[in-house]
Structure 1
Amino acid sequence: MATPSPPLLLLICLAALLASAARALAFCPTGCTCDDDTLVVTCIEANLDVIPITLNPSIQRLVLKYNRIKTVDAAFQFYGELKYVDLSYNHLVSIPTRSFEAQRKLVELHLNHNKISSVNNRTFVGLRALTVLSLRGNYLEELPERLFSLLPQLEELDLGQNRISRVDPAAFAGLTALRVLYLDDNQLRAVPTSSFVELSNLAELKVGLNAFTTLPDDAFRGLNRLTNLDVSGASLQNISENAFRGLSVLRSLGLHDNCLRVIPTRQLATLPRLEELSVGQNEFTTLEAHAFQGLEKLKRLDVSGAQQLERVEKGALADNLNLEALILSSNKKLSSVEEGALAGLPNLRHLVLRDNAFTTFSEPLATWPELRKLDLAENPLECRCSLLWLRDLLSRRNASQVLCAAPKHLKDRPLKSLSADELGCALHDTRQQAIIGALCGTGVALVALLGILLYRYRRRLQDALKDYKWNNRAISRKEHEYQKTFSDEDYIVRAAQQQTLKPIPVTEL
């Protein structure tokens, strides 16, 4: 092995001395935890006003949450090995240009819940390796042109809970790798359709809690790989028939907490691969037959908090044979699910009917024994004999607690704890009831059949009865004549016998 030259040895020794000096000078501030083995520094609620500059320069993860830091200064120039930085819940107002120029290895940057009112594309100079950026909960008002063009590896961008009212059509230029975008809870008056053109690989989009009332045709044009879309809380009143056109691989859609008066059946039918749908907290009163027509792959349907919903019609889910979970909860007026509305769902395993207005449930409503999860709690049930089957079902499984609301003497008592007598049942055995019911039904059917036959053949019966009566009268006359004849002959015979046996008088000599 060759011996290093003297100048090289000198450089190695100098580097070692500098590293040793840096470690020796490293200082962990009060309220922080510094681990030189894992290279992680955590300063949560440490009352820091500035970013510390005395940390180990080799740190890779820096967490400074819940402090009072007001600006990002030159301190980051000392930490070129950082891969993760969290400055959430501080007092940041602005970020000077090139503040992160030394962070060429940084992968995640969290600046959420500060007071940042503006950023520009020079803010992110040096962050070419960044994959996650969160600016949620700040004061941003607009997204200018090419704002994120220096972040070619960015995969997740969170801009929710700001004051954004304008998005430049080229705001997302260069984000070819972006997979997740959150624009929810802003002040957008329309879906920024034109800015989506650059996001051909986007898989998840949240644009709810904004101020637009309509989804126009092709509202999400260009997002051909979108699988998850959330438009909840957007004050939607109208959805154009082709609003979702082009979303051929969409799997999950959130439309809850809007102002829809009917289920947008035709609009949803353009989503052939939809598996999860949430449409609660809207203003429709009925789930009509074939309301979800075309959604053959639908597995989970959530209709919760629809304050005007009163009825689910038979056939409402007739097209959704792959449905596995149905959630109908907190619908304060929902008291009627028509017979057959939940029939024909062979894959249904999770059924939630919690906190509605049901006073009873019918046994044929669903295939209850096949359900893995069943929640019927918080309904105003009238606990009568008609619910004996439900008591037996609940006692055999670990289901939610179902309490009685009526009659008064059973109020707030668990249904599964009640006896058949307490439910007002004359017979305790449901099978015996079924047998007696079947026998009674058979008897009624036989009586009805006999009545029909008697009515149909009434003329023949009348003729037969007439013949029978005539024959009886003829027989009676013959018997009378026979009896009369027999009496005369008997009289003659008896008279002859009396003469034959009459004694001969004896004469005395």
Structure 2
Amino acid sequence: MRQMSPLRAGRRLAAFMTSNAFLVLLISLELLASRSGAAALANCPIGCNCNDETLVVVCEESRLDVLPIALNPYIQRLIIRNNKIKTIDSSMQFYTELQHLDLSQNHLVNIPTKSFAYQRKLQELHLDHNKISSVTNTTFQGLNSLTVLNLKRNYLEELTNGVFTTLPRLEELNLGQNGISRIDPRAFAGLSALRILYLDDNQLSSIPTTSFSLLGSLAELHVGLNAFSFLPDDAFAGLNRLTVLDLNGAGLSNISEFAFRGLPGLRSLNLFGNRLITVPTMQLSGLTRLEDLYIGQNEFLTLESHSFKGLKNLKLLDITGATQLERIEKGAFEDNINLETVILANNKKLATLEDCSLLGLPKLRHLSLKDNAIVTLSETVFIGKELKQLDLTNNPIFCDCQLLWLHQLLNDKSNFTQIHCASPEHLKDKPLRNLNADDLGCVLHDTRQQTIICIIVVACVATIATLVLILYRYRKSMQEKLKDYKWNKGRKNLEYHKPISTEEDCIVRGIHPSQYPAPPHTPGLRPIPVTEL
């Protein structure tokens, strides 16, 4: 056998060692990959919960002041809420698989440019309850898949042109509870998919109509708790797909006649907590598809007849906390035959619901009249048999026979809330349901007796009416007969009292005419000759 040269042997040995080293490296990498879960768990910060099966990391109140850098790079949900993080550093580049990131309730002051350049799969970003004072059109660069952005309760003061242009798929944007007083006309440019926008509790003094006109897909707009005071015509022009409009606490005292024009599909309108002194009937009448209306905590005194004219599809009406409201007039809801729920609660001066004010509502099932000033209630106010819920609690109810119908209704409907008497004194705090007709001072409480009396009264009235009608119809003939009767009676009386002056009378009385004294001679009168038989 020929011996191998030392050089050749050295080359073979080197090749063997190299191949073995490569094999060792492959095995090591495989082992590392198989133990990545244990390694990730080992790097989980104190106070955090890291789950490598669900790929979720939660760090709440963990006293973190920087973002963790050694977490599993494949995590999809990272929730670091209520910590002390002040900025977003470069460690974000390691978590490219993130779909949900929550950094709310931290100490973030600003967001460096391109902080999210590697989060192309991120769908939800929550930065609320921080101290962010500004954002630009580069702040959110890279977030092409983002659908939800929450910047609620920060220190933003203005929205510049095109600030959200890098978010083409954004559907929900929350900018509530900031200090925004200025919105550039093209601030919302590029948000063609936006469906929900919160701008409530800011410092806007007027509706940014021009800015809103770019949001053709918007379905919900929340702009309450600002300082508008006035809504001009076409205030929401361009938002023809809007279904929910929230103007709660917007400071409105005046609404132009055509303020809501261009909102054909509006389903819910919140005008709660404004300064309206009358119900804006004319302004609302064009919202023919409106289903829910919240209009409590305003300053109107009365709900007049046809207050909600035109709202034929209205299903829910909430008038809560209207401190000046005193009266509901008959026909106030006459145009709203599809009403299912009416809430007239916590109106401290509301004492009068006129008869039939809630009649003509065949679909009414839920009625709340709690915390008002109602003393008594007529049976003709509404039809209680159709109701599923009735709440009359916390009213100064005077329990007497006028509420016998309500007592019977409460016994028929066990699911109705309990009603306690406020007066008279001997019934105070007693449940109306537990009383009887005698307790309420009803003399005729037997239904059959009442029915019989009603029948007798109706029969008497009908008889009298018939007699009056007959007398009226034959009044002329009866008047003639009465005249004839009086004339004939008078004639008989005259004949009975006629003096004895004729010959027959005398003969009848046995006096011959020759024996009757001759009448005195009257000049100018010729004597009447008497013929002897």
Structure 1 and Structure 2 fold alike (TM over 0.5): yes
- Judging changes above 3 Å, is the alpha-carbon distance between structure 1 residues 393 and 8 closer, same or farther for their aligned structure 2 residues? farther
Correspondence for 1:346 among 348, 354, 362: 362
Give the structure 1 partner of residue 39 of structure 2. Answer: 25
1:258 deviates by: 0.5
Correspondence for 2:126 among 107, 110, 114: 110
- Provide the rounded CA distance (Å) in 2 between the counterparts of 1:172 and 1:413: 60
Query: Counterpart of 1:404 in 2: which secondary structure?
Result: coil
- Contact 2:388-2:416 within 8 A present in 1 as well: no
Correspondence for 2:209 among 190, 193, 197: 193
Give the structure 1 partner of residue 279 of structure 2. Answer: 263
Give the structure 2 partner of residue 161 of structure 1. Answer: 177
Q: Which amino acid aligns with 2:134?
A: S
Give the structure 1 partner of residue 418 of structure 2. Answer: 401
1:6 deviates by: 12
1:164 deviates by: 0.4
- Provide the rounded CA distance (Å) in 2 between the counterparts of 1:192 and 1:7: 69
Query: Counterpart of 1:328 in 2: which secondary structure?
Result: strand
- Provide the rounded CA distance (Å) in 2 between the counterparts of 1:170 and 1:10: 60
- Contact 1:25-1:54 within 8 A present in 2 as well: no
- Judging changes above 3 Å, is the alpha-carbon distance between structure 1 residues 379 and 459 closer, same or farther for their aligned structure 2 residues? farther
**Residues 109-128 of structure 1: pairs in structure 2 closer than 5 A:** 109-128=125-144
- Judging changes above 3 Å, is the alpha-carbon distance between structure 1 residues 218 and 349 closer, same or farther for their aligned structure 2 residues? same
Query: Counterpart of 1:31 in 2: which secondary structure?
Result: coil
Correspondence for 2:445 among 407, 428, 441: 428
Calculate percent identity across the aligned residue pairs.
60
**Residues 132-151 of structure 1: pairs in structure 2 closer than 5 A:** 132-151=148-167
Query: Counterpart of 1:117 in 2: which secondary structure?
Result: coil
- Provide the rounded CA distance (Å) in 2 between the counterparts of 1:7 and 1:84: 41
Give the structure 2 partner of residue 413 of structure 1. Answer: 430
- Provide the rounded CA distance (Å) in 2 between the counterparts of 1:429 and 1:9: 103
**Residues 10-159 of structure 1: pairs in structure 2 closer than 5 A:** 16-17=30-31, 19-20=33-34, 22-26=36-40, 27-159=43-175
- Provide the rounded CA distance (Å) in 2 between the counterparts of 1:7 and 1:194: 68
Give the structure 2 partner of residue 325 of structure 1. Answer: 341
- Provide the rounded CA distance (Å) in 2 between the counterparts of 1:146 and 1:254: 30
Larger radius of gyration: 2
- Judging changes above 3 Å, is the alpha-carbon distance between structure 1 residues 94 and 314 closer, same or farther for their aligned structure 2 residues? same
- Contact 2:37-2:52 within 8 A present in 1 as well: no
Q: Which amino acid aligns with 1:352?
A: S
- Judging changes above 3 Å, is the alpha-carbon distance between structure 1 residues 173 and 435 closer, same or farther for their aligned structure 2 residues? same
Give the structure 1 partner of residue 378 of structure 2. Answer: 362
- Contact 2:127-2:150 within 8 A present in 1 as well: yes
1:178 to 2:194 alignment:
yes
1:340 deviates by: 2.1
- Provide the rounded CA distance (Å) in 1 between the counterparts of 2:313 and 2:143: 41
**Residues 263-282 of structure 1: pairs in structure 2 closer than 5 A:** 263-282=279-298
What is the aligned length? 467
Give the structure 2 partner of residue 442 of structure 1. Answer: 459
Q: Which amino acid aligns with 2:417?
A: S
- Judging changes above 3 Å, is the alpha-carbon distance between structure 1 residues 64 and 429 closer, same or farther for their aligned structure 2 residues? farther
CA RMSD of aligned residues (A): 2.7
Please list every run of at least 4 consecutive aligned residues from structure 1 whose deviation after the TM superposition is greater than 3 angstroms: 5-25, 440-468
1:443 deviates by: 3.3
Query: Counterpart of 1:392 in 2: which secondary structure?
Result: helix
- Provide the rounded CA distance (Å) in 1 between the counterparts of 2:276 and 2:396: 28
1:227 deviates by: 0.7
1:458 deviates by: 8.2
- Provide the rounded CA distance (Å) in 2 between the counterparts of 1:353 and 1:459: 64
- Provide the rounded CA distance (Å) in 2 between the counterparts of 1:53 and 1:86: 16
Structure 1 alignment gaps of length 5 or more: 472-509
- Judging changes above 3 Å, is the alpha-carbon distance between structure 1 residues 376 and 466 closer, same or farther for their aligned structure 2 residues? farther
Q: Which amino acid aligns with 1:253?
A: L
- Contact 2:128-2:151 within 8 A present in 1 as well: yes
1:245 to 2:261 alignment:
yes
CA distances 1:377-418 after superposition (whole Å, capped 9, x unpaired): 111110111111111111222011211111112112211111
CA distances 1:258-294 after superposition (whole Å, capped 9, x unpaired): 0111111111112121111111111111111111111
Q: Which amino acid aligns with 2:39?
A: L
1:335 to 2:342 alignment:
no
1:427 deviates by: 3.1
CA distances 1:198-225 after superposition (whole Å, capped 9, x unpaired): 2100000001100111001111111111
1:195 deviates by: 0.5
Give the structure 1 partner of residue 502 of structure 2. Answer: none
1:97 deviates by: 1.6
CA distances 1:461-486 after superposition (whole Å, capped 9, x unpaired): 79879999x99xxxxxxxxxxxxxxx
**Residues 224-239 of structure 1: pairs in structure 2 closer than 5 A:** 224-239=240-255
Deviates more, 1:437-446 or 1:267-276: 437-446
- Judging changes above 3 Å, is the alpha-carbon distance between structure 1 residues 387 and 252 closer, same or farther for their aligned structure 2 residues? same
Give the structure 2 partner of residue 504 of structure 1. Answer: none
- Provide the rounded CA distance (Å) in 2 between the counterparts of 1:377 and 1:464: 71
- Judging changes above 3 Å, is the alpha-carbon distance between structure 1 residues 451 and 458 closer, same or farther for their aligned structure 2 residues? farther
Query: Counterpart of 2:433 in 1: which secondary structure?
Result: helix
- Contact 1:22-1:57 within 8 A present in 2 as well: no
Query: Counterpart of 1:43 in 2: which secondary structure?
Result: strand
- Provide the rounded CA distance (Å) in 2 between the counterparts of 1:12 and 1:183: 56
- Contact 1:289-1:315 within 8 A present in 2 as well: yes
Q: Which amino acid aligns with 1:423?
A: L
- Contact 2:73-2:95 within 8 A present in 1 as well: yes
Structure 2 alignment gaps of length 5 or more: 1-18, 493-533
Give the structure 2 partner of residue 474 of structure 1. Answer: none
Give the structure 1 partner of residue 10 of structure 2. Answer: none
Q: Which amino acid aligns with 2:427?
A: L
